[in-house]
Amino acid sequence: MRRLISAFLCLFFLPLTSAVHSATLIPAVPKVQAKGYLLIDFHSGQVLAEKNADMRLEPASLTKILSAYVVDYELAQGNIHLDDEVVISKKAWRMPGSRMFVEVGKKVSVEDLLKGVIIQSGNDATVALAEHVAGSEEAFASLMNQHAAKLGMTNSHFVNATGLPHKEHYTTARDLATLAQALIRDFPGNYALHGEKEFTFNGIKQYNRNKLLWRNKYVDGIKTGHTEAAGYCLVASMARDGMRLISVVLGARSEEARTAETQKLLTYGFRFFETHRLYAANEPLTTARIWKGETEELPLGLAEDLYITIPRGQYKKLKANMSIDKRIIAPVHAGQAFGTVNVSLDGTQYAQRDLVSLTEVAEGGLFGNLVDEVRLMFE
């Protein structure tokens, strides 16, 4: 059995701020001219708009988001370093499509190659990095698929590092949003490169193809893509006033269209929704009675910060309650779940998270255990 703590008591912990008292009217999602799209909040993961989000589509150069993620991971692990010098192979030099213009046999640093991948979308730079990390592009693609699986990209498969067309090379808008979240969350330092507007290498200046970097000062990434089969694609991220949204647009009809449709989605999200952090991780939300332990009180909280994204002006209408296990018996380990926190708005559940033990509690002494055993008989 579990006991319920009322919404009033639970909401005591909500960081109440000033809010608009009148409700904001939410219009229908704007029509987006693309094969598939998705708009989510970065912190809460709440989906704000979607169409064909799970349809398998060609990602074109959006593939390089995952390639950059794998390189960032290898850098973080110390397996490679930014100042490593990479000898450019004939395969990398001969790559078709967008290029950084590296020269065969020359040495180029990992740092410059990473900029070439992210800012210039260079296929040559991408293959050079793939070979440096894994020995071959094929082996690198295997790493890409392993990382994709760990991130929960359940509907994706990659056969190359660049996004050149292949019938077995595909992803979805939802998987790309998951990847974008991971990129920003796991490697915030290197993520800044995705907001760089230009890069000069070998005397050639090239510009980032993400036009939103010039048109919207709050947009700081992430990547464009285009092939004839994939159409024009763009994964973008925009942060303003403590809120960050991620949009994915796949299969737009033109370079200008992918920019306009992405801006349309971002404007909709920021205009009509707001994100709040309700509870911080590892901070006590309540205490529970623990039996047969060294102490009688067990602090309970959340393992991760709890964010929710709701329509603007609705914050004061949130309702929350905690359901806690009635009988908690020592020993208890930190991180064990003993209940849930539930947050709802107008009868719709927005979040449910486990209430976990924030400390360890060892088993108490013999006398105390006997006393608690007797007490439990009358509970």
Enzyme catalytic residues:
61, 64, 121
Judge contact between 264 and 48, C-beta under 8 A. no
Q: Please tell me the distance from the alpha carbon of residue 364 to that of residue 361, in angstroms, as a whole number.
A: 9
Which helix (DSSP H) or strand (DSSP E) does residue 318 occupy? strand 318-325
- Cα atoms in the 13 Å half-sphere on the side-chain side of 41: 23
Helices (H), the chain: 7-11, 63-76, 90-93, 110-118, 123-134, 137-151, 173-186, 188-191, 212-215, 255-272, 366-377
CA–CA gap between residue 215 and residue 219 (Å, rounded): 8
Percent of the chain that is helix, strand, coil (3-state, to 5):
30, 30, 35
Neighbours of 53 (CB within 10 A): 21
Question: Phi first, then psi: what are they for 248, rounded to 5°?
Answer: -130, 125
Provide the terminal-to-terminal Cα distance of the chain, rounded to the nearest Å: 12
Query: Per the structure block, which two tokens stand in for 364?
Result: 């108490």
- DSSP class of 160: -
Q: What are phi and psi of 346, to 5 degrees?
A: 50, 40
Other Cβ atoms within 10 Å of 353 Cβ, number = 19
> CB neighbours of 221 closer than 8 A, spacing ≥ 6?
184, 191, 194, 195, 210, 235, 236, 237
